Amino acid sequence: MRLTTLGDLLLDVVVHADDSLALGDDTVASTRALPGGQAANVAAWAASLGADARFVGKRGDDLAGRLVGEALRALGVDVCGPVTGGTGIVVSLTAGGERTMASDRGSAMHLQPAELEPSWFDCDVLHLSGYAIATEPTASAAVTAATFARDFGATVSVDISAASLVDDAYRGRLATIAPDLVFATELERDAVGELGARWAVKRGANGVTVDGKDWPPAAGEIVDPTGAGDAFAAGFFVGGIESGLAAAAACCARLGAMP
């Protein structure tokens, strides 16, 4: 199975504290700096499950960019796209069972259509991050990528990513891409509205709904839910719904969004 993802490759700073933060004071926590970004996460999990995975996106020509690029390659992913500007950094803070994220996506949001090579999209599935279609010029790059992928006979999927991204422009770009499959939370699905696509609705602790059927989550310890939806998407592509749920559970049982 050949998967190409388009979106962001970022440096994730993951902070996990068992108790609530002591504001104005010190809180003991586990902290790691790891490669992340929705599209990169899906590619990494797919590679770990045996797929031929490629990531396409723009990252910075800085230390963070070199680190995350090397780390993603070490996980078996072919990393493609221009290297310029500054690499985005996302801080994911989990404390007292609640998660907060602070995001700086850096040069990832400045990928141009002219920077794409058609051969990168010779795949079975192209998976687009919703962040990539939220603003220009990455939105136009995503539309171009979908055209290239369909020329090779690929299926195109989109993860909505965040309900707050969805406005009329986003809906218009989504309609132009015309994805075959959409991953979304219930809130994201409601924000998008009617769309002629297959839906995989992520419901957190309640599992997923696919083709109108509810599936419970796979059992497992929850250490850090960051990237669980990306792991589910990768497993879904490689082995179906149950494989996706197992990958999501494996992701939740560890710190960080990649295998």
| Active site positions, annotated | 230
Tokens 């539309």 appear where?
A: 143
Report which residue type is found at 232: F
At which residue do the structure tokens 């993860």 appear? 159
Phi, psi of 84 (to 5 degrees): -165, 155
d(CA 11, CA 70): 12
Helix, coil or strand: residue 178:
coil
Q: How many CA atoms lie within 13 A of 52 on its CB side?
A: 8
Comparing CA positions, the residue from 57, 200, 79 lying closest to residue 141 is 57
211 — alpha (psi -120 to 50), left (phi > 0) or beta?
A: left
The CA distance from 232 to 252, in Å, is 11
What is the DSSP secondary structure assignment for residue 222, as one 8-state letter? -
